[in-house]
Structure 1
Amino acid sequence: MAKNIRQQMVPDLQHLRILVAEDEFFVANDIALWLERAGATIIGPAPTLREAMESLSSADDIQVAVLDINLNGELIFPVADELVRRSVPVIFYSGYDTMNVPERFKSVARLSKCAGSADLVSAVFEEYLQNLSTLAPAGLGVPDQSVIDLIPGLRLRARQLTPNAEAADYLVERTLERAIVSVASRCRSQPLDQWLHEMMVAIHLESPYGLN
């Protein structure tokens, strides 16, 4: 039962378009399968640096990238540079735990190939959410609260609504997933924390007994 609950708590990636660059066939297949099962659309997987660069040229709507650092002896950094230029969040998914990366990539998320499917999907979701920053309605360019800063408060509110810790965390995830989809309809005058808390209560009322 606990395993089933954890599986249900994997975030819905909401059809995010994710570039995957990986030279090992079976690893690339696993990554694509895990992310597609979570709702993502895969660009690639690209097994070489050249093919990854071609994917960048043909796709201008990439939202997250999962990149192996070493593709058949070529380092992925030119691809990462272009993605950073486009403000696309990058995750280095590599078996080289001790490999040095250039200083400009020190803040890029890194995940070991020993990580499982739930870890990868959660990392993709968190990086995308972090990149959204505020969930502010498009085109307004006005400073807003940070979603990441609001998560502790959301978790506390969720625990007030349901005493089960796993169900509470799932409620937070569902709230953030719905917020990403619904951001265009948010009234800009409403504080972000108030909007998210009201959304959480509405979701809880839809399913007051926890996971469904």
Structure 2
Amino acid sequence: MLCRFRSLSRAVHEERVRERQHERKKTYPRTEATMGTSLTVWRKSLLISCKGFTVIDSEGNLVYRVDNYMGRPDEITLMDASGKSVLTVRRRSKKLVVVESWNVYAGEVGNHQRKSSEERPICCVRKRVNIFQGKPKVQAYVYREASDKKRYDFAVEGSYAYRTCKVVDASDKVVAEIRRKEAIAKDVSFGIEIFQLIVHPGFDPGFAMALVLLLDQMFS
């Protein structure tokens, strides 16, 4: 497990160094504050027996991880580097409902130390299924507090299959992006299983990663 992580961490860190050297050649300054948070997402669990995700920052440090024993589980927990639950996404099971939707909870759902009243979703994410309604490039809608209101708070546009997505708010402002990770060095290729998650200032990186998990369940 450590060998696999160190290999990816070293590759990302070396690529980040090359990116910084490339940025210094430009005439305008670009800082982390103006660029937002850049995370590298590896669509693979650190545990050999699991399927999941490994997320590292621009310095090669582990930030988030997901370890699942099932290919398409009804519940997924996003953990930090220490294994603490950050967010839990759970599939909504309603009879006679065609639209695939998920609830997102803070922390770990079902923790015996939490009251049942605290286990309220912070939002609901719904897969767009009607291609003749709304924006054709939208893949999913995000509604705060899992309400049934018609107006969404965020929308995911683009194509997750090609790793070219962006999350926009109700005013069409981009708050996060999923991009193919392109290496500056010609002899480095990351492929489709390793990609970038760019989180713009003011948007929660953990929540952005939760959206990645849901898109993977909906469209992978």
TM-score (norm. length: structure 2): 0.28
Q: Which has the higher helix share?
A: 1
TM-score (norm. length: structure 1): 0.28
Tell which has more relative contact order, 1 or 2 (C-alpha 8 A, sep 6+).
Answer: 1
